[in-house]
Chains A and B, each alone.
Chain A
Amino acid sequence: MQPKHDWPGEVYRELVAANVRLVGYVPDAGQKRLIELCQADKTMRAVSLTTEEEGIGLAAGAWLGGLRSVLLMQSSGVGNIINVLGMIKVCRLPLFILVTMRGEKGEFNPWQVPMGEATARVLETMGVAVRQAGEAGTVAAHVRAALRIAFQAQGAEAVLVAQKVIGIKSFQEQANQ
């Protein structure tokens, strides 16, 4: 399903413009198209992870080697990276995470709610700046700003894409992605 507003395509073009060559991800239905765009790009390497935590090591190693990388995950994955964000902070490593939100208004799985409610606070507590993209039309601008801070100021940045932007309303709809 292609979203009405092609924010994944816009985000992909921002990643290309920022010279991002490595993309670590744990899939989310809301990022399906973006992951596919990255996989199809021969100048990018998309690395599937068993847990989001692996993405922090991957990003750290890539930057040590001079390569720009980003991470894609859903909000539940933020809970899996808390301790290792300490390395990002203490080494002042650049970090860009695109988080698609679950557990917000319209969530169909109550087990997604606790981590969804805590996602922004958890990131901020561990020193990651949070930008909330509440509308499809604002995602790319947030991504552009966050990428600039990440790679120009070696900042830790997360863009949270609201669940209503993804617009998946049921398990069936998610399965049909």
Chain B
Amino acid sequence: MKATLHRREVVKALLKNRKNLLVVAGLGSTSWDITAAGDSSLSFPSWGAMGQAAMTGLGLALAQPQRRVLVITGDGEMLMGMGALATIGVQQPPNLVVVVIDNERYGETGMQATHTAYGVDLAAVARACKFKEAKEIRTADEVERLCERVHSASGPLFADVKVIDEKLTLVLPPNDGVLLKERFRRALLGPSADVLPEER
């Protein structure tokens, strides 16, 4: 079944009314996707550490149980850290959503096929790892429902969104890791984000 969804439209829809969402994006195209939808201090786009987007989301979800945390990553990135789905399944964070933008390709390295192109089913893996909900998504209607579930579902929630394997213009977020970290913490934590001397 050929994918019909455009990745930038899917991500734009997910972030259109983001309310208090905290967003982590995986290395590569999904970092460009969230930036194309509008850069935000409360987004953390990865430029490296391939395989760690979902775990970064878990750390954030455990640190901020009152906030919703959305991880948006690619199929190649998720495959590299698939054990994270098992770890998240054990922890059962109710505020964590992992969305894989699945074009069945390594988009940054020449569009080579990933395992999902051969039928490896990430949503089934997430279900087997005890995610509360885990679906494959192929239509705009399903994306619309997902946008609601991102804010309301008791997680962990997983979605594998099948998208067209298109090459798009790069829309780059800042790549200074210290800047990305500090702006995120300041926007989230206010003055307490700044590390000050303490006596101990």
Residues of chain A touching chain B, judged by Cβ–Cβ distance below 8 Å, are 17-18, 22, 45, 47-51, 53-67, 69, 83-84, 86-87, 90-93, 148, 151-154
Report if A69-B59 is in contact (Cβ < 8 Å); known contacts: A50-B83, A84-B52: yes
Q: How far is the CB of A123 from chain B (nearest CB, A)?
A: 17
Q: Is the CB of A92 within 8 A of B177?
A: yes
In the complex, chain B residues whose CB is within 8 Å of the CB of A56: 49, 52, 55
Complex Cα distance A5/B197, Å? 32
- How would you classify the secondary structure of chain B's contact residues: helix, strand, loop or mixed? helix
Complex Cα distance A66/B58, Å? 13
In the complex, chain B residues whose CB is within 8 Å of the CB of A60: 49, 52, 56, 59
28 pairs from A and B in contact (CB 8 Å cutoff): A22-B62, A47-B87, A49-B83, A53-B52, A54-B52, A57-B52, A57-B56, A57-B59, A57-B81, A57-B84, A58-B55, A61-B57, A61-B58, A61-B59, A62-B60, A63-B63, A64-B56, A64-B185, A65-B22, A66-B189, A66-B192, A67-B59, A67-B62, A84-B52, A86-B48, A87-B177, A91-B178, A151-B195
B86 within 8 A of A: yes
In the complex, chain A residues whose CB is within 8 Å of the CB of B188: 64-66
Q: Is the CB of A59 within 8 A of B59?
A: yes
Q: Which of B51-101 contact A (CB under 8 A)?
A: 51-64, 81, 83-84, 86-87, 90-91
Complex Cα distance A86/B195, Å? 22
Q: How far is the CB of A15 from chain B (nearest CB, A)?
A: 13
Q: Which residue of A lies closest to B178 (CB)?
A: A92
Q: Which residue of A lies closest to B50 (CB)?
A: A83
In the complex, chain A residues whose CB is within 8 Å of the CB of B51: 53, 57, 84
Q: A61-B61, A64-B60 are in contact. List 7 more A-B contacts (CB 8 A).
A: A47-B91, A54-B55, A57-B52, A61-B62, A66-B63, A92-B177, A93-B181
Residues of chain B touching chain A, judged by Cβ–Cβ distance below 8 Å, are 22, 24, 44, 46-64, 81, 83-84, 86-87, 90-91, 177-178, 180-181, 184-185, 188-189, 192-193, 195, 197-198, 200
Complex Cα distance A148/B197, Å? 10
Q: Is the CB of B49 within 8 A of A87?
A: yes
Q: Which residue in B64, B81, B83, B87 is a CB contact (below 8 Å) of A66?
A: B64
Q: Is the CB of A154 within 8 A of B195?
A: yes
Q: Is the CB of B200 within 8 A of A91?
A: no
Report if A64-B59 is in contact (Cβ < 8 Å); known contacts: A49-B87, A151-B195, A152-B198: yes
Among A62, A69, A83, A154, which residue has the most Cβ atoms of chain B within 10 A?
A: A62
Among A53, A63, A65, A151, which residue has the most Cβ atoms of chain B within 10 A?
A: A65
Q: Which residue of A lies closest to B176 (CB)?
A: A90
Q: Which residue in A50, A65, A84 is a CB contact (below 8 Å) of B59?
A: A65
